[in-house]
Chain A
């Protein structure tokens, strides 16, 4: 391990992450794993780039230091940001799968058991099938989730970065509330929010900010689209902040004019559900049980729509196209795993009423030894009125 020029975690923390991964690799019975997912690469090595639309993999054998195989121009980032010393990049015009095969053979893995992240977006099926064909003596197994298991519980340093990310999200939210007004477009509001978020220290985020007015707030993941804001409409914000790739996110809403009953009562129900859900969160609670309780609170209020998706998702390291890590753990129907101290969630109660608008309010929360701590509490949980 070498000390990188830009270092966000101690070498001890990286060593612990690697040792724990190897423990899980032993459990799976693999001699090596290939790590392709940008979040997992960052978690293990410190390496990061937005350029993961080119093949990149970290080969982690059981018995020797890891080897990185990235595009030549991206190798500069492993040199500066990562602790991994053995780097074997490929050129743009080279075949990266053949290159990876050569590295694996060189490491003595020709006839071994190799784990690959078959659930990763950044291991296309074409490349997986090709590597398998190029190495007929190797045994390939699915190692999806092996690195993610370590990401589920956050360390004090990780939580610290999420707290800083929460400050950036709050700054943007406050700027957005300020910028909402008649005569402004969604883009005018988005412009002020981005400015405030980035000035507060934020990096680029895994998803865009979501800013949608009027009935567009009923379109999931809709964001700013040059629409002029109108009187008697809701403006929906879902805002992330990011520090050293760790995210926090929050939803707030602003109403232009006198909020009608569906909106004001709806927001009371949603903020009340948010507060009650936080009271219930503590280590040992079964995630699926909590989901049913949240769903019942929202659905029984008859707001004109029901909760039709998960109630929370794990959040931490992120690169596009997601700022969450709900595939690691979500508070959703059927999830039997229990909450543990050190988990972080974006807790998102709310409904979208077709023809009217979204009614949503959310926070990023941390599961503590005793209960639940709100990380994005710097902006009040209520309907803002302009």
Chain B
């Protein structure tokens, strides 16, 4: 292992990640794993680039140092960021699957049991087909989730980066709350939020910041779109921060004018449900139970129409676009029976309450990034109180 120039984890931590991954490979009888997801590549090797729209893979065997196959242009990121030395890039005009096949043959791995990330966005179906056809002597097995399993429980250093990310998210939120006023545009607000978040240290995030006003709050994942803020409207901000690719996220809500009773009431209920969920979170509890608790609490307080139409929380950590979460690793959702473990981190959305019959405000929002500790739950986005900011 070589010490990279930009190093965010100790070589011991990388070694431990690699050893654990190899243990899981052996359990699935995989001789060599091809890692394509940008989060997984970063987790195993330290290598990062936003240029993962070109094919790139890390060949992880059981008994020799891993080998990178990336675009030549991106190979410039391996030496500064990664402890891995063996890099065999392809050029823009070359066939990267042929190249991968040649590298695997060269390493003596072309007839082994090869694990592929069948669930990865960045191993296309086309490449999967071509690769399995090109390596006719290999046996292909599903290696999905093998690296992700190691990402599920965070180390001290990972948690520290998530804490730092939380500070940048809060800086963005303060600027956003300050900037909201009748007559300014969503873009004016977004401009100040980005400025503050980045000045506080944040990197680019896996998803854009979500800034929604009035009716547009009903459109999932909609964000700033040059609309003018109107009196009697709520503004919701879902805010990420990112340090060394680790993310934290949290919501805040602003109201322009005298807030309606119904919204205030809904926010109170949201805060209560949030508190209930946090006090139920501890190691050993099945993740789906927290989801159910949230649904039951919402139904009890507001009637069946107020139940969530999506999961109550998703795991959060390393992210590259198009997601800042890692809910595919574990979510608090209907039917999830796996137990919570100390060191897991979630974006907990338990404080959202849907509203009916109000113009200008479609829901009350309240969320935090939380850490499952040995004894319970710690809020990581605790630097800014949750309340309705009235402007």
Contact = CB atoms under 8 A, between A and B. Distances in A.
Given A118-B125, A121-B121, A203 B76 contact: no
Contact of A220 (B74, B199, B322, B335): B74
Interface string A44-66: 00000111110000000000000
Given A124-B118, A321-B52, A333-B93, A220 B320 contact: no
A232 interface: no
B124 to A, nearest CB: 5
Contacts of A352: 76
B322 to A, nearest CB: 5
A203 B225 contact: yes
A219 B219 CA distance: 38
Interface in A79-96: 80-81, 91-93
Interface string B54-88: 00000000000000000111101100100000000
A142 B76 CA distance: 33
A224 B311 contact: no
A23 interface: no
B92 A226 contact: no
A196 B194 CA distance: 10
Interface in A194-249: 194-196, 198-199, 201-204, 207-209, 218-226
A308 B91 contact: yes
B260 to A, nearest CB: 22
A121 B53 contact: yes
Contact of A221 (B49, B209, B225): B49
Interface string B115-151: 0101111111110110000000000001010000000
A187 B204 contact: no
A181 B374 CA distance: 47
Given A77-B222, A310-B92, A321-B52, A221 B208 contact: no
A220 B76 contact: yes
Contacts of A204: 208-209, 223
Nearest to A49: B221
Interface in B197-220: 198-199, 201-204, 207-209, 218-220
Secondary structure dominating the interface of A:
loop
A157 interface: no
Nearest to A81: B219
Interface stretch (B183-191, B297-305, B381-389): B183-191
Given A120-B124, A187-B199, A223-B50, A218 B76 contact: yes
B218 A223 contact: no
B198 A220 contact: no
Nearest to A352: B76
Given A187-B201, A198-B190, A319-B322, A118 B333 contact: no
A128 B218 contact: no
A322 B53 contact: yes
B10 interface: no
Given A77-B222, A191-B196, A119 B124 contact: yes
Nearest to B81: A219
Contacts of B201: 187, 226
Contacts of A74: 220-221
A207 B196 contact: no
A190 interface: yes
A49 B222 contact: yes
A97 to B, nearest CB: 12
Interface residues of B, number: 67
Contacts of A72: 309-310
B204 A208 contact: yes
Contacts of B207: 50
Contacts of A225: 6, 203
Interface string B324-336: 0000000001110
B194 A321 contact: no
Nearest to B199: A191
B277 to A, nearest CB: 17
Given A50-B223, A221-B74, A332 B310 contact: no
Contacts of B187: 198-199, 201-202
Contacts of B124: 118-121, 123, 125
A76 interface: yes
Secondary structure dominating the interface of B:
loop
Contact of B51 (A119, A220, A319): A220
A123 B125 contact: yes
Nearest to A335: B93
B224 interface: yes
B121 A53 contact: yes
Contact of A93 (B73, B144, B203, B333): B333
B195 interface: yes
Interface residues of A, number: 71
A308 B73 contact: yes
B265 interface: no
Contact of A309 (B80, B92, B118): B92
Contacts of A218: 76
A125 B142 CA distance: 11
B239 to A, nearest CB: 14
B118 A126 contact: yes
A125 B222 contact: no
B226 interface: yes
Contacts of B226: 201
A192 interface: yes
B120 A320 contact: no
A84 to B, nearest CB: 15
Nearest to B5: A215
Contacts of B19: none
Nearest to A52: B322
Contacts of B221: 49-51, 74, 77
Give the residue among B191, B201, B321, B322 with the most A Cβ atoms within 10 A: B322
A116 interface: yes
Give the residue among B187, B198, B311 with the most A Cβ atoms within 10 A: B198
Contact of A219 (B77, B116, B198, B218): B77
B194 A195 contact: yes
Nearest to B207: A50
A334 interface: yes
A122 B121 contact: yes
A142 B208 CA distance: 31
Contacts of A264: none
9 contacts: A77-B219, A77-B220, A124-B123, A125-B128, A187-B199, A195-B194, A221-B49, A319-B322, A321-B50
Interface of A: 6, 38, 49-53, 71-74, 76-77, 80-81, 91-93, 116, 118-126, 128-129, 142, 144, 187-188, 190-192, 194-196, 198-199, 201-204, 207-209, 218-226, 308-310, 319-322, 330, 332-334, 352, 354
Given A191-B194, A321-B53, 4 more contacts: A129-B125, A188-B199, A220-B74, A322-B53
